[in-house]
Amino acid sequence: MPARIVCVDDEPRVLKGLQRRLGRAYDVSTAESGAEALALMREGEEFQVVISDMRMPGMSGAEFLAQARQEFPDTVRILLTGQSDLNDAIAAVNQGNIFRFLSKPCPPEVLMPALSDATEHFRLIRAERELLEGTLRGAVTVLTEILGMKDPAAVSRGKRLKRHVHQLAEALDIDRSWDFELAAMLSEIGYAVLPGEIVDRARAGEALTEAERQLLGSHSSVACELLAHIPRLENVARMIGALGGGVEAGTDPRVAEGLRLLRAATDYDEALQQGLAEGAAVAALRNNGVHDEAVLRGLDHLAVASGGYVEKSLGVGDLVSGVILGADLFAADGRLLLTEGTELSAAARTRIEHYDNHVGVREPILVRVPA
């Protein structure tokens, strides 16, 4: 399938020339303004490359490419401009992260190799992202499953937060949320290096000394320190550290967006764990004035969607991946295996079956399944 390219110029004659010149090798769309091009890019399949003129009425090429970079960071950007536009072209390179800067008129022997390089660059960007996201997701899954053997409550909370963040991102039409979800999953790992006795007492609602409260409150900073040295997890680490207030969020918009969702998911989950129903939990968050209205509307969607479940009592042999625990799950000896709200993974089911074979698991098991 040929690569999809959008050409942007306010002169129809130029667009027709580009369509004729490139149409044999690429799937070419055209737009006579930056606004028209953005509307086109927001529809249907993704464009691999965008070629834009610099001087256009309403929205300049620099402004258009900067906006395109924000909304479609993987799409490779090429700028066509005349010699007199050099200063504006420099601004476009700085603001729009331009892949190539070509002078008009651009002969085919220059334009075609540039397009070939641009489509290959897009392929490499996408391949690297898929490898990165897949590798990190797999590593985090293994890490959290191992952590769950030491502190199932922390891992269960992390999985709940991940689910909330994923659903919230969908409600807000955020296309890529993998790093936000990793931050949610890993936000509790700081508890793994804190004294278990203090963590258990805090969860049981027992009184703590001031020193113990400070130690417990450091778990986000501890998690941040643990993750900060892992390549490509720097932003995830900063989101978690800023969530606890021990680390500055900085100016990266990706960190700010992730922190926004993670804070909302954390407050929402805490309200649910205090016994509030989903709608009441969102109302409580709306009353405290901390979260913006867009996030609160997203949480409203979560609350409505939660009504699509019914509770059932099952035995160990009836459990399947994807069901959500409706109550804490204990081994026969009283050991906590998983907490309410945990979505069962294949590894969790294997662990439950192992305990059932050697120690026993308390039945019936209350779960929530789609209605």
Interval 300-317: pLDDT, tens:
888 877 765 677 899 999
By CB atoms closer than 10 A (0-12, 13-18, 19+), residue 214 is: exposed
Stretch (H or E) spanning 181: helix 178-186
Closest CA to 101 of 18, 109, 88: 88
pLDDT at 355: 92
Q: Is the pLDDT assigned to residue 84 strictly greater than 70?
A: no
User: Structural domain boundaries of the chain?
Assistant: 4-125, 151-308, 315-371
pTM of the full predicted structure?
0.62
> 193-208: per-residue pLDDT in tens?
788 888 888 878 888 8
Q: What is the CATH number of domain 151-308?
A: 1.10.3210.10
Q: What is the mean pLDDT of residues 258-269?
A: 94
- Residue 338, helix vs strand vs coil: strand
Task: With beta carbons less than 8 A apart as the criterion, state whether 327 and 313 touch.
Answer: no
Local confidence band at 77 (pLDDT 50, 70, 90 cut-offs)? very high
Question: Helices in 10-85 by DSSP H: which ranges?
Answer: 12-22, 34-41, 61-71
Q: What is the fold of 4-125?
A: Rossmann fold (3.40.50)
